[in-house]
Chain A
Amino acid sequence: MPNGQEDPAVSGQDDAGARTLFDKLWDAHIVREESADTPAVLYIDLHLVHEVTSPQGFDTLRARGLPVRRPDRTLATLDHSTPTTPPDANGERHYFTPQAKSQVQQLERNCDEFGVRLEGWGSQQRGIVHVMGPEIGATQPGMTVVCGDSHTATHGAFGALAFGIGTTEVGYVLATQCLLQRKPKTLRITVDGRLGQGVGAKDLILHIIRTIGVNGGTGHVIEYAGEAIEALSMEQRMTVCNMSIEAGARAGMIAPDQKTLDYLRGRPLAPRGEAFEAAAERWLALRTDPGAEFDREVRLHADDIAPTLTWGIDPGMSVPVTGTVPAGGAPGTDRALGYMGLEGGQALLGHAVDIVFVGSCTNGRISDLREVASVLQGRQVAAHTRMLVVPGSEAVRRQAEAEGLHEVFLAAGAEWREPGCSMCLAMNGDLVPPGKTAVSTSNRNFEGRQGPGARTLLASPLTAAACAVAGKVVDPRDFLPAPAPKREAA
């Protein structure tokens, strides 16, 4: 690339014509243009790191005697392998395996050696990487964000280009702050109308995945748009973008707007004062220009979306809560029905639930916990059902405890845990036992995802809470409105 070439994102859009949000971010991060022979060299503004996918990346640096190029653009946390039970009286944490403990210690050593900021044990900001980043204002509109984690798309809710990478690429970004990338295609999903009562962001994204398929977004970056998307809160937008990968898309994004600015103002790592106002102006200009073209467009209506649960073994196998699972006959369907212990054509309503898991980078934020508490308030988790509530971060935990939500959970008979990924991928010892059915607010219902033989129904926090109370699959709309909190005075 010639020296001093103007950055199209900054010099104005007239020459390039109408551009999408994605185009603007892509153009602004090109270090070296792609050609027939080589992919683009793409600059990464924020590299998030956790203990599971980073050790071999740091080893690459060590083997070559390289430093981390930009420790100031690198931020690490502990989330996947960490226990969610509190330390014992001696302050000792009980890891699931010695290997889990040594993996955590390895990241502590790596961050120390390479000068990377780690929100580790004892940090008031530690959390699931995709909950923490936005919370502390590290995630900002217009950024490129990567992490060795496929749910990195979460950060796209801020109008960032955010996607998951492998461990070899973690090493590349540590060493050079860059990645080699071919430009993906663009897909706009427009959702008209407003979601109904009791229908949430999780139902919306499960509906989208079912509609376009688990491979519907392959090769594409999704931009979510339309009235229903604009009406979502930032936390709800994160839920939607988070699961883009479950439709095959590495990244999903939403244009920054006033809600984005309101969320970011005052966050520890967000710009302050005049710098914030200047940044805000640039951020709002990122939205897709009128007339900009996408490679593909999909249009949906919010009226068609009901509370939705998965019944099978991929996130596209879902039905409205009042629906029936497919009849058997196809090999994929039969395998799923068999694994899940379901009869082809049966209703989902009334299906017994052994475990309810509330948490994860999809639905472990404060608004999710408030929804759950609104259902559990004054009610009990069914006797045969175990319920785990795992906050997404230390900040979520503090806020929930300040609002007394944990007391609602505990009074209802649920467990209130320490922050982490927990039962979403069950590598820290929080497992669904073989053959048991769990309703989970997490993101994947793959065979064995929540433990060998575990059967997962993905659902919204509201649905999960209602199912916990009933001990079976129920329609969360029957649990609205929540009982008035001042009932004790009566």
Chain B
Amino acid sequence: MDAFTTLTGQVLVLPEENIDTDQIIPARFLTATSFEGMGDHAFADWRYDREGQAVPGCVLNEPRAAQSPILVAGRNFGCGSSREHAPRALLGFGFRVVISSEIADIFRGNSQNVGLLPVVLPEAVHTRLLAMDGEELTVDLEACEVRTPGGERHAFEIDGFARYCLLNGMDRLDFLLAQDQTITRYEERHERQDSAAAG
């Protein structure tokens, strides 16, 4: 996972509410056994028609889309399926940050695990950012704030451990593997209890 500290870049806005993970990556692309190339299929059914032609007017097909690392999306982004392919596809497409007023639980956790920063901001701020399509924002994970070129600063909250992992590009598996002895003690204690209860 790549570390994330501070990023300044263009905003792409998808104002739709409840964008589900089936939109982000349709199920027919899930038969892959690696995440390689997943970005090519991000929002496939929004970007391409059934003949595979680019849908005119789809903002994701504009050249600037691939140069916009910050996605500002409507409320309740990432709802639905637990497919990690969704944040992987967004990363592959070029996004590093997703901002919304609400982000679905599983998607948010998956994003943090793979290095896509999910940022939840209050509705009033979110509404202002929805009007900033094509403009520049700075997302600062060290300071936990989003800054506009006009000098506005919007603080956001993120779980401390998730922040630490993102800042350092740390894989949580290392943390879990370091718990090995504690896990073994837990297993021994519980298996004793289970056999005592069963006996």
Residues of A within 8 A of B (CB): 1, 3-4, 7, 10, 31-32, 36-39, 41, 43, 52-53, 55-56, 59-60, 64, 66, 69, 80-81, 97, 99-100, 102-103, 106, 148-150, 152, 163-169, 171-172, 175-178, 180, 182, 184, 214-215, 218-219, 245-246, 248-250, 271, 274-275, 278-279, 282, 314, 331-332, 335, 425-427, 434, 444, 446-449, 452-453
26 CB-based A-B contacts, threshold 8 Å: A31-B179, A31-B186, A39-B161, A43-B183, A52-B31, A56-B34, A60-B173, A66-B177, A80-B30, A99-B32, A103-B31, A165-B82, A166-B84, A169-B109, A169-B110, A176-B176, A215-B18, A248-B76, A275-B198, A278-B198, A279-B198, A331-B15, A427-B30, A447-B22, A448-B23, A453-B50
* Complex Cα spacing A427 to B180, Å: 38
B189 within 8 A of A: yes
Within 8 A of A (CB), among B74-102: 75-76, 79-85, 87, 102
Contact partners of A279 in chain B: CB under 8 A:
197-198
Q: Decide yes or no: A168 and B186 within 8 Å by CB, A427-B31, A448-B22 being known contacts.
A: no
Q: CB within 8 A of B177: which of A31, A175, A184?
A: A175
Q: Once the chains bind, are A446 and B160 in contact (CB under 8 Å)? A: no
Within 8 A of A (CB), among B17-50: 17-18, 20, 22-23, 26-28, 30-35, 45, 50
Contact partners of A182 in chain B: CB under 8 A:
159
User: Could you tell me how many residues of chain B have their Cβ less than 8 Å away from some Cβ of chain A?
Assistant: 57
Q: CB within 8 A of A171: which of B45, B85, B173, B186?
A: B173
Question: How near does chain B come to A225, taking the closest CB pair, in angstroms?
Answer: 22
Q: Once the chains bind, are B82 and A168 in contact (CB under 8 Å)? A: no
Q: Decide yes or no: A168 and B110 within 8 Å by CB, A175-B176, A215-B102, A448-B45 being known contacts.
A: yes
Most buried by A among B15, B31, B32, B106: B31
Question: How near does chain A come to B167, taking the closest CB pair, in angstroms?
Answer: 13
Q: Once the chains bind, are B82 and A282 in contact (CB under 8 Å)? A: no
Q: Decide yes or no: A31 and B182 within 8 Å by CB, A7-B193, A36-B160, A448-B23 being known contacts.
A: yes
B105 within 8 A of A: yes
Q: Once the chains bind, are A3 and B22 in contact (CB under 8 Å)? A: no
Question: How near does chain A come to B163, taking the closest CB pair, in angstroms?
Answer: 10
Q: CB within 8 A of A444: which of B76, B80, B102, B198?
A: B80
Most buried by A among B113, B173, B179, B185: B173
Closest Cβ neighbor of A425 among chain B residues: B27
B152 within 8 A of A: no
Q: Once the chains bind, are A434 and B50 in contact (CB under 8 Å)? A: yes
Question: How near does chain A come to B134, taking the closest CB pair, in angstroms?
Answer: 20
Interface string of B111-130 (1 = CB under 8 A from A): 00110000000000000000
* Complex Cα spacing A69 to B80, Å: 30
Q: Decide yes or no: A215 and B193 within 8 Å by CB, A149-B82, A178-B183 being known contacts.
A: no
Closest Cβ neighbor of B114 among chain A residues: A168
* Complex Cα spacing A66 to B173, Å: 11
Q: Once the chains bind, are A215 and B104 in contact (CB under 8 Å)? A: yes
* Complex Cα spacing A97 to B186, Å: 44
* Complex Cα spacing A80 to B81, Å: 13
Q: Once the chains bind, are A248 and B113 in contact (CB under 8 Å)? A: no
Contact partners of A165 in chain B: CB under 8 A:
82, 106, 109
Q: Once the chains bind, are B172 and A37 in contact (CB under 8 Å)? A: no
Q: Decide yes or no: A166 and B82 within 8 Å by CB, A55-B34, A56-B35, A218-B104 being known contacts.
A: yes
Contact partners of B82 in chain A: CB under 8 A:
53, 148-150, 152, 164-166
Closest Cβ neighbor of A73 among chain B residues: B187
Q: Once the chains bind, are B160 and A37 in contact (CB under 8 Å)? A: yes
Most buried by B among A36, A245, A434: A245
Q: Once the chains bind, are A215 and B183 in contact (CB under 8 Å)? A: no
B64 within 8 A of A: no
Interface string of B55-67 (1 = CB under 8 A from A): 0000000000000
Contact partners of A80 in chain B: CB under 8 A:
30
Contact partners of A168 in chain B: CB under 8 A:
84, 110, 113-114
The 7 residue pairs across chains A and B that have the minimum distance between CB atoms? A166-B84, A166-B110, A164-B82, A55-B33, A275-B198, A150-B82, A167-B84
Closest Cβ neighbor of A99 among chain B residues: B31
Contact partners of B22 in chain A: CB under 8 A:
425, 444, 446-449
Q: CB within 8 A of B16: which of A103, A248, A249, A335?
A: A335
Q: Decide yes or no: A452 and B50 within 8 Å by CB, A81-B31, A425-B27, A444-B22 being known contacts.
A: yes
Q: Once the chains bind, are B159 and A39 in contact (CB under 8 Å)? A: yes
Q: Once the chains bind, are A43 and B186 in contact (CB under 8 Å)? A: yes
Q: Decide yes or no: A452 and B182 within 8 Å by CB, A36-B160, A218-B104 being known contacts.
A: no
Q: CB within 8 A of A172: which of B35, B80, B176?
A: B176
Q: Once the chains bind, are A169 and B31 in contact (CB under 8 Å)? A: no
Contact partners of A171 in chain B: CB under 8 A:
173
Closest Cβ neighbor of B18 among chain A residues: A314
Q: CB within 8 A of B172: which of A81, A167, A180, A449?
A: A180
B154 within 8 A of A: no
* Complex Cα spacing A425 to B85, Å: 15
Most buried by B among A53, A80, A434: A53
Q: Once the chains bind, are A150 and B80 in contact (CB under 8 Å)? A: yes
Q: Decide yes or no: A180 and B34 within 8 Å by CB, A218-B105, A279-B198 being known contacts.
A: no
B190 within 8 A of A: yes
Question: How near does chain A come to B23, taking the closest CB pair, in angstroms?
Answer: 6
* Complex Cα spacing A453 to B109, Å: 30
Contact partners of B183 in chain A: CB under 8 A:
31, 41, 43, 69, 176-178
Question: How near does chain B come to A433, taking the closest CB pair, in angstroms?
Answer: 10
Most buried by A among B79, B109, B114, B175: B79
Q: Once the chains bind, are A166 and B176 in contact (CB under 8 Å)? A: no
* Complex Cα spacing A245 to B79, Å: 8
Q: Once the chains bind, are B105 and A219 in contact (CB under 8 Å)? A: yes
Q: CB within 8 A of B33: which of A41, A103, A275, A449?
A: A103
Contact partners of B15 in chain A: CB under 8 A:
331
